């Protein structure tokens, strides 16, 4: 009976929240998601991480073509651009929500921990980001590892391509970084002199590099063998042969990001 009521709540198309008051823990939430064909529309999963709650916000419904994800909640332009795309063209967009900041914080046994959510998709990455941002313990690392796998289940379940959306700041990280500082991470780099280097695609498969280059966009192809293992989603996808396109745009340039995401989904829909 409990399960029936729960399924009813989950299947209601405009239900706002999937609350963990009903779902005793996040593993149970996972079972429900994997076992049923649920259409989500502006829903929220409250994920228990240590003694805290992370919200996984879901817009749209599953698409076999692509899934959009934002991992850094402070990169507001990318969230707004992805939401507009979903509103206008359908598809599926998820983002992680906690405090509006880049890093996620949680406590476990009264000890505070923090991590960058785009550094958690390998064990090595989790260790590095937790050490960089403060405390570390094996128990806390395992909590983060479970959270990463929960996200990966979502991202790889139905869609043939993950489209990540990120923002950077003028003159900081850009496609040009792969000529210098991040040189070992890239196999190929294409920069169109008439485009802003802050706006570029970052991909893990050669065919995607060729396509975006042919369209005149700046594009970087990850070197999947030699890339530095920082635990980012691109590293995970590159190592596991998962199609991944990152739409990286300077913060504030909403129309540029919208146009680039649209170019990616049109391209994927042609196949
Ligand atoms: Zn980011």
> How many A from CA of 24 to the centre of ligand 1?
31
User: Tell me, what's the pLDDT at 41?
Assistant: 65
> Among 165, 104, 110, which residue's Cα sits nearest to residue 129?
104
Q: Summarize pLDDT for 188-201 with one digit per residue, the tens.
A: 999 999 999 999 99
Core vs surface per residue 212-248: b (16+ CB within 10 A) or e? bbeeebbbbbbbbeebeebbbbbbbbbbeebbbbbbb
What's the mean per-residue pLDDT of the chain? Answer: 86
User: Tell me, what's the pLDDT at 62?
Assistant: 63
In degrees, rounded to 5, the angle at the alpha carbon of residue 116 between the alpha carbons of residues 183 and 17 is 135
User: Tell me, what's the pLDDT at 131?
Assistant: 98
Q: How far apart are CA 186 and CA 205, in angstroms?
A: 11
Q: How far apart are CA 173 and CA 230, in angstroms?
A: 16
User: Tell me, what's the pLDDT at 43?
Assistant: 86
Token digits of residue 58: 């879901």
> How many A from CA of 73 to the centre of ligand 1?
8
Alpha-carbon separation of residue 245 from 74, 119, 123, 141 (angstroms): 20, 17, 22, 27
Q: What percent of the chain has pLDDT over 70?
A: 84
> How many A from CA of 102 to the centre of ligand 1?
8
> How many A from CA of 130 to the centre of ligand 1?
17
> How many A from CA of 248 to the centre of ligand 1?
8
> How many A from CA of 140 to the centre of ligand 1?
23
Model's pTM, two decimal places? 0.85
> How many A from CA of 1 to the centre of ligand 1?
42
Q: Please give all residues whose CB falls under 5 A of ion ligand 1, grouped by chain where several chains appear.
A: 72, 75, 166
User: Tell me, what's the pLDDT at 63?
Assistant: 65
- DSSP state, residue 70: E
Burial class of residue 194 in the structure, from the number of CB atoms within 10 Å of its CB (0-12 exposed, 13-18 middle, 19+ buried): exposed
- For residue 145, is pLDDT > 60? yes
Q: Please, which pLDDT band fits residue 17 given cuts at 50, 70 and 90?
A: very low
Burial class of residue 210 in the structure, from the number of CB atoms within 10 Å of its CB (0-12 exposed, 13-18 middle, 19+ buried): middle
Q: Summarize pLDDT for 149-186 with one digit per residue, the tens.
A: 999 998 998 878 999 999 998 878 999 999 888 889 99
Contacts of 233 (CB under 8 A, 6+ apart): 69, 71, 118, 121, 155, 162, 164, 244
Q: What percent of the chain has pLDDT over 90?
A: 73
Q: Please, which pLDDT band fits residue 212 given cuts at 50, 70 and 90?
A: very high
> How many A from CA of 166 to the centre of ligand 1?
4
Domains and CATH numbers, the chain: 40-270 (3.40.630)
User: Tell me, what's the pLDDT at 101?
Assistant: 95
User: Tell me, what's the pLDDT at 72?
Assistant: 97
Mean pLDDT of 85-101: 91
C-beta of residue 170 within 8 angstroms of C-beta of residue 250: yes
> Among 107, 115, 121, which residue's Cα sits nearest to residue 229?
121
> How many A from CA of 111 to the centre of ligand 1?
26
- For residue 1, is pLDDT > 70? no
- For residue 31, is pLDDT > 70? no
- For residue 85, is pLDDT > 50? yes
> How many A from CA of 76 to the centre of ligand 1?
10
The number of beta carbons lying within 10 Å of the beta carbon of residue 184 is 11
Number of helices (H) and strands (E), helices first, in the chain? 8, 11
């Amino acid at each position: 009976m409990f399960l029936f009521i729960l399924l009813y709540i989950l299947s209601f198309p405009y239900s706002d929240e999937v609350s963990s008051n009903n779902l005793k823990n996040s593993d149970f939430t996972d079972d429900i998601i994997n076992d049923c064909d649920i259409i989500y529309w502006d829903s929220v999963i409250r994920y228990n991480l240590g003694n805290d709650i992370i919200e996984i916000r879901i817009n749209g419904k599953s698409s076999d073509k692509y899934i959009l994800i934002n991992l850094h909640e402070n990169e507001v332009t990318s969230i707004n651009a992805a939401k507009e795309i979903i509103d206008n063209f359908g598809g599926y967009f998820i983002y992680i929500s906690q405090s509006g900041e880049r890093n996620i914080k949680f406590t476990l046994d009264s000890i505070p921990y923090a991590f960058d959510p785009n550094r958690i998709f390998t064990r090595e990455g989790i260790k590095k980001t937790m050490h960089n941002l403060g405390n570390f313990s094996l128990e806390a690392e395992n909590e983060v590892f479970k959270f990463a796998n929960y996200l990966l289940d979502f991202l790889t379940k139905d869609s043939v391509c993950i489209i990540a959306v990120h923002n950077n700041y003028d003159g900081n990280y850009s496609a040009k970084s792969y000529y210098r500082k991040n040189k070992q991470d890239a196999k190929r780099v294409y920069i169109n002199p008439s485009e802003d280097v802050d706006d570029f695609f970052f991909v893990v498969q050669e065919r995607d590099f060729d396509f975006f280059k042919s369209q005149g966009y700046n594009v970087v192809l990850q070197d999947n063998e030699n890339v530095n293992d920082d635990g980012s989603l691109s590293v995970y996808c590159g190592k596991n042969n998962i199609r991944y396109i990152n739409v990286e745009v300077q913060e504030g340039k909403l129309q540029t990001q919208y146009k680039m995401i649209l170019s990616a989904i049109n391209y994927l829909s042609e196949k």
